[in-house]
Amino acid sequence: MKRSFSLFVLVLVTLAMTAGAASANTNVVTWAHDNFRFSDRLVNQTCGFRVGFHAFGPYKAVDQYNNDGVLFRSIVTSGGGGYHFTATANGVTLETQSSYMIIYTYNPDGSIASLREDGLHFGFTVPGEGIVLVDTGRLDVDPETGEILFEGGPRQFLHGDLDAFCAAFL
């Protein structure tokens, strides 16, 4: 019994020392984001009218460094359901919440080695009609070329599938 207790204490001390070192290599920044802008050319050309987007809520960025102080990963997350988007046109406003993360990994020289997005960017719905625009899932992008390396989940906005979204404002 005494031997098991000693082993338990040793494991706890080791974990405490390891956790302390790891947390010292992490920098966390949180901020509130509030931005309104009109849609890009894709929506203007597809819908034939301007759509105003309002994005607001909390963001968190976590930079992780190795033991030599070199940045190796950054993780940016939206507010875990507290980040909001509205889209407004022709007197109609659609709303959605967002919960996603973007993960950057870095080469030792500081250049971006990989870029991944995960989660729900947005899922606009119309009462009684259902989903009119959804962008969700995983997306791996080549940081040098912008080429999509892997895609999982529906990405209507990314691929310009905006017919139902545009029709919701008419």
Average pLDDT over residues 57-64: 92
pLDDT tier, 104 (very low <50, low <70, confident <90, very high otherwise): very high
Q: Is the pTM of this model over 0.85?
A: no
pLDDT tier, 13 (very low <50, low <70, confident <90, very high otherwise): very low
pLDDT of residue 81: 57
Short-list 168, 123, 163, 170, CA closest to 43: 163
Whether 15 contacts 33, CB under 8 Å: no
pLDDT reading at 5 higher than 80: no
Average pLDDT over residues 155-162: 90
